[in-house]
Structure 1
Amino acid sequence: MKLVMDLPIKIAIGSGAGLLFGILFGWAIFPALLHHKISSQVALKKGGEIREMIVKFPFSFDFKIYMFNITNPMDVQKGDTPVLDEVGPFFYEFYDEWKEKVNVVDDDTDDTMTFNAQNTFYFNQEKSGKLTGDELITIPHPFIVGPAIAAKREKPAMLSLLNKAIASIYHAESIFLTARVRDILFDGIMIYCNVTDFAGKGFCSVMRNDVKDLVHVTDNVFSFSFFGPKNGTFDPRPTKMQRGIKNAKDVGRVLEFDGKPNISVWGKKDCDEFRGTDGTIFPPFLKEEDGLLSFSSDICRSLPANYVKDVVYKGIPARYYTATLGDMSKNKNEKCFCPTPDTCLKKGSMDLTKCLGAPLVITLPHFYDADESFLGPVRGLHPNVKDHGIYIYFEPMSGTPMEARKRLQFNIPLEKIDKIALMKELPEALVPIFWIEEGVALNDTFINQLKSQLVRTIKIVTIMKWVIILLSIVGIGVAGFLQFKKNTGFAVTPTYGGNNELKKTNNIISTISNADNRTSY
């Protein structure tokens, strides 16, 4: 009898303890353990797996280049609308040395690492299909149009002298250059500066001393290309970033570039400060409103990617982010990217003159998400989000980008300049030269690791905590039911000994009832 009476209490105590454990383990203990484990894994400590991975990636990244061929250059020379034909992609890969971090120096005191980035490009003939790099294309000549646009903006008094220098050096009939793709991108276009006239010598002297990415073949022969000077070399400007050992949310955060605590290009804190990582790693436990921020030295700014929606990527719960170049003409926080306070570019574009020293403008490919006015002066572009947008599939718990596509288009402005003979009749247009796509998608090996080490663990613990909680609630219910039955049983159980005692009691009750003239019990 004692065992029956104690059973509900025992069940209730055990179930209550189970409920408390399920709640504490599911919402306090396990998250704390998981947070500690992930924080320890993502920290860029010496010998760590993540550290080794971002210093030298164990898998390849894709790098595609799409060129724009102007099919009617002589008509454009006379004022017609440029007609563009996209040629590509020319497919490159980065193996082992893709943005390899070299000359790595650790500082344990402030929890930082300093390094130089190295880039090496490998042409992939198989993925490029029939394209070889020997295709001839026509683009605006960067070293004719670029200096002319720069002189018009900054030193208009020099235009007449520049006009003579262009005629002396190039002997050109138009402002357009026709050359092989591989020469424009990597091998180099020759500029022969063995001239003797004053204007030509002066122009060559400026190129020799002031143009940093110009290759000096000889003292009077230069070579330029868009990617050649960066291929197989490391950036001499070091980057300092947080290792995240002391605080995981700081992992990868850029602190300095080229020895400076800010970019010192745009002249205002909002645009000059480093925000985010270098793009090879992101901190864990990011909230939706945090966004993904990464600093790119190629465009001298940090670029934010904003949360769009929750998705499932190859069986893994993830977030989908997209990025744009913003709208400096309307967003007060982006006004410092304007060429001057009174000359802001339209939505979806950014002038890199202050960054690169050349009047190049970046947009998304085919002017996607840019002001519609950019499309009118050119023909042959077809913008769409699938092919031309920037996006990231991101696992927020571990801070892992599972698939990402960064796309940027480089354009050069055409303008009518009366004092430059080759530019007197040009139309006003922003002309695309090429666009690039940097992309990565984790292979099945890394996806399965992420599933087994994180997703499945979380799923198992989630199932376990709810099973414990539900069983505990059921147990409490059973205990209550048993206690109810026990209490009900005591109410109807006779408390007097034998039938004779019960009869005597009933007689007493009956007599009292009759004495009060009430119906007998």
Structure 2
Amino acid sequence: MKLFNKEKDSRGCMRFSFLGLLFFIIASLIIIINPIKLIVDDQLSLRPGSLLFKLWEKPPLEVFIRVYAYNITNFENFYKGIDKKIKLEEVGPYVYQEFLENHNASFSTEHNTVTFQPTRRVKFIREMSIGDPKSDRITVPNIPYMGVTTAVSEFSLLGAIAVRTLMRTLRSQVILNNITVDEYFWGYDDPLVSLASKIIPNVIHFKKFGLLDRMFDEGKNTVTMNLPHKSKSNNIDAPISERLVSNDEYNDEQRESFDTIVDVLKNIEPEQQEYEKPFIPLIRDFSIDNFNGQKGLKQWGYAENNPYGNSECNTLAGTYDGTLFPRNITEGETFRIYRKTFCRTLPIVYSHPGEVDGVEAYFFKLADNAFDSNIDDPQSSCFCRRGVCLRKGLGNITPCYYNIPAAVSFPHFYNGDPSLLDSIEGLDPSEEKHGSEIVLQPQLGIPMKVRSRIQLNLLMGEIKFNSDMRPFRNIVLPIIWIDMGVESLTPGLLFLLYLLFSILPYAQITLIIILYAGGIAAFLKAILYIRWIPNRMRHLHEKALEITSIPAGVCKVPIVIVSGPAILSLDNKRLSIGGGKILEEEMKCLTSTSFNEDDDEFEDHEVLGTDISRIHY
């Protein structure tokens, strides 16, 4: 009777050992390979067909532009000199939704860039607006009239007299009374603009003038953006200054530019080299390489072959269009944003860490001096035209808007020179209402929430030979201010972020723990086969069943059926069965008091009336 199989037990030990080792290997490979990171890196690379490409090509963000106009409430009294200050009433918001699409994406493997054409369109959202812009009416300055008059006064007395004569002939007015908001935003008839469109159609290609129409008519632009280098790891622990692309990773055009810089340096005297250093932009993932073929803003003095004349404020290379930023952003970083509408690059600086809808986020804001110009500051010195800088808080945009003296600022002159408020009533600057906020997801480098607030102003200088404009001399007159914002992520994009940063990483960690726990359990099972079970068998043998006094004819005895290793001993009066796992207990009949250990079976015959009181165990 064979109750134990050592070969079978050995196989069981090997089976559990192999299973435990397999679990450990799989868990270790998951840690080393990090499949979640591989999937994320693959889908978040900007290439045709990737998830990031689909999000970038047609961003699912809901971008709303809230526009506020300044209604002049006391023009007659101010014009006559009765009121010393012009009174403004903020009217709005009038809300428009902006839709961005990036078309004609062309990837260059040689330069590791993508070239594309961004297009934007807006749609009026009535339910989010304060009223109907086609019926709401306001009193506002006539921008072409004021702008041209001021511009000409700065250059020539004869020009100022000629413009004044022309204005009277065309019957242009300084102030637009009772004009609809829609006309003011998207186009109203002005005789000066109509005349200019006929004389210089290549410059003035529109017959009506509208503020938003001019601001958002950016034309057809071609942008080239730098892509991440596959050979360059994105070392988030390295200092920002060490994240420059190495020399062997620069494309041919970049190397040619730097070779030019080196050639220039060779011709510079050592004393000059000691005090003057050429500006070399920090080229990072998804930064702009060039805009319409230009790496800088020529209107602010950028020159391709004059590195010493370039600075951070007039260089486009290394800036961002605001849709994508580098992945793995660290605290304390600063980025410069460029949008053609604002005629300049604007710095955003790190504020603090936080969360948006439960997802990790870094909060940035427009720098407090984002619109300042300082002749001694390389980040803003180029904005000082002919060596003259505007007052604190004003950013010159005159070269981009037909040389009409204009400037951008924070709304209500927040963070601006206090003197800007001296001639105006109705403004109340505050950080909460007029500050900015840009929230980025640091691992992905995508905007999660945006509140970018900017005001457009007319710069009134020393106006000559025009009595109608005399009350506005040396005033910076607010016209409108806009709040460009992304309130929240779309549900689909929010779920994607949860999946990438909350669900998948924890699922992977849980799987690793389960695999390691399963491996440990399998190894313990194998150890039991080797050590614990044989010891248990010997213990059970000592407590084996005892069957005594088995006379002839008595055959109804209790037998314990066992499995696994067991020890069977038999003598004339005692049957001992020990070891193994008890499966069942039944009444069997022993027909013989002797059988061999190798017997697999034994016959049983039931005998009725057996006295079982003599049988014990």
**For this structure pair, what is the TM-score category when the shorter chain's length is used for normalisation?**
0.7 to 0.9
- The aligned counterpart of 1:183 is 183
1:370/1:36 CA distance change after superposition, 3 Å: farther
- State the structure with more CA Rg: 2
- The aligned counterpart of 2:212 is 227
- The aligned counterpart of 2:54 is 52
Residue 123 of structure 1 deviates from its aligned partner by 0.8
Structure 1: stretches of 5+ with no match in the other structure: 1-13, 195-202, 216-221, 470-521
- The aligned counterpart of 1:516 is none
1:176/1:184 CA distance change after superposition, 3 Å: closer
- The aligned counterpart of 1:86 is 90
- The aligned counterpart of 1:70 is 72
Q: CA RMSD in A?
A: 3.5
- The separation in 2 between residues aligned to 1:291 and 1:426, in whole angstroms, is 38
The answer to whether the Cα contact below 8 Å between 1:43 and 1:245 also exists between their aligned partners in 2 is: no
Partner AA of 2:59 in structure 1 = F
Partner AA of 2:313 in structure 1 = C
- 2:327 matched to 1:328? no
Residue 130 of structure 1 deviates from its aligned partner by 3.2
- The separation in 1 between residues aligned to 2:390 and 2:509, in whole angstroms, is 50
- The separation in 1 between residues aligned to 2:513 and 2:414, in whole angstroms, is 47
- The aligned counterpart of 1:192 is 191
Secondary structure (helix, strand or coil) at the match of 1:293 reads strand
The equivalences for 1:118-133 within 5 A come to 118-133=119-134
1:205/1:70 CA distance change after superposition, 3 Å: closer
- The separation in 1 between residues aligned to 2:311 and 2:157, in whole angstroms, is 30
- 2:239 matched to 1:237? no
Secondary structure (helix, strand or coil) at the match of 1:284 reads coil
- Aligned residue among 289, 293, 299 for 1:265: 299
- The separation in 2 between residues aligned to 1:265 and 1:181, in whole angstroms, is 31
Residue 448 of structure 1 deviates from its aligned partner by 2.4
More helix by proportion, 1 or 2? 1
- The separation in 2 between residues aligned to 1:424 and 1:300, in whole angstroms, is 29
- The aligned counterpart of 1:301 is 344
- The aligned counterpart of 2:323 is 280
- The aligned counterpart of 2:147 is 146
1:192/1:354 CA distance change after superposition, 3 Å: closer
Residue 112 of structure 1 deviates from its aligned partner by 1.9
Residue 358 of structure 1 deviates from its aligned partner by 2.1
- Aligned residue among 409, 412, 419 for 2:458: 412
Residue 424 of structure 1 deviates from its aligned partner by 2.7
- The separation in 2 between residues aligned to 1:462 and 1:71, in whole angstroms, is 64
The answer to whether the Cα contact below 8 Å between 1:257 and 1:263 also exists between their aligned partners in 2 is: no
C-alpha distance after superposition, 1:99-142 (max 9, x if no partner)? 22223333232122222222211111111143343211122211
More deviation, 323-332/431-440: 323-332
Structure 2: stretches of 5+ with no match in the other structure: 1-19, 235-283, 302-309, 517-617
C-alpha distance after superposition, 1:10-59 (max 9, x if no partner)? xxxx9xxx9xx99x987x764xx666544433322012222122222234
Aligned residues: 435
1:352/1:466 CA distance change after superposition, 3 Å: farther
- The aligned counterpart of 2:200 is 209
Residue 181 of structure 1 deviates from its aligned partner by 0.8
C-alpha distance after superposition, 1:355-412 (max 9, x if no partner)? 3232111001111122222122211111122221111122101112211111110011
More deviation, 266-275/401-410: 266-275
Using the size of structure 2 for normalisation, the TM-score is 0.63
Partner AA of 2:359 in structure 1 = I
- The separation in 1 between residues aligned to 2:379 and 2:80, in whole angstroms, is 36
Residue 78 of structure 1 deviates from its aligned partner by 3.5
- The separation in 2 between residues aligned to 1:414 and 1:211, in whole angstroms, is 27
The answer to whether the Cα contact below 8 Å between 2:92 and 2:130 also exists between their aligned partners in 1 is: no
1:358/1:459 CA distance change after superposition, 3 Å: farther
- The separation in 2 between residues aligned to 1:42 and 1:213, in whole angstroms, is 43
- The separation in 2 between residues aligned to 1:89 and 1:40, in whole angstroms, is 42
- The separation in 1 between residues aligned to 2:37 and 2:378, in whole angstroms, is 34
The answer to whether the Cα contact below 8 Å between 1:67 and 1:87 also exists between their aligned partners in 2 is: yes
C-alpha distance after superposition, 1:303-333 (max 9, x if no partner)? 2211111112221222111113253237612
- The separation in 2 between residues aligned to 1:368 and 1:463, in whole angstroms, is 50
- The separation in 2 between residues aligned to 1:317 and 1:271, in whole angstroms, is 31
More deviation, 100-109/429-438: 100-109
Identical aligned pairs, as a percentage?
A: 23
The equivalences for 1:470-485 within 5 A come to none
- 2:396 matched to 1:351? yes
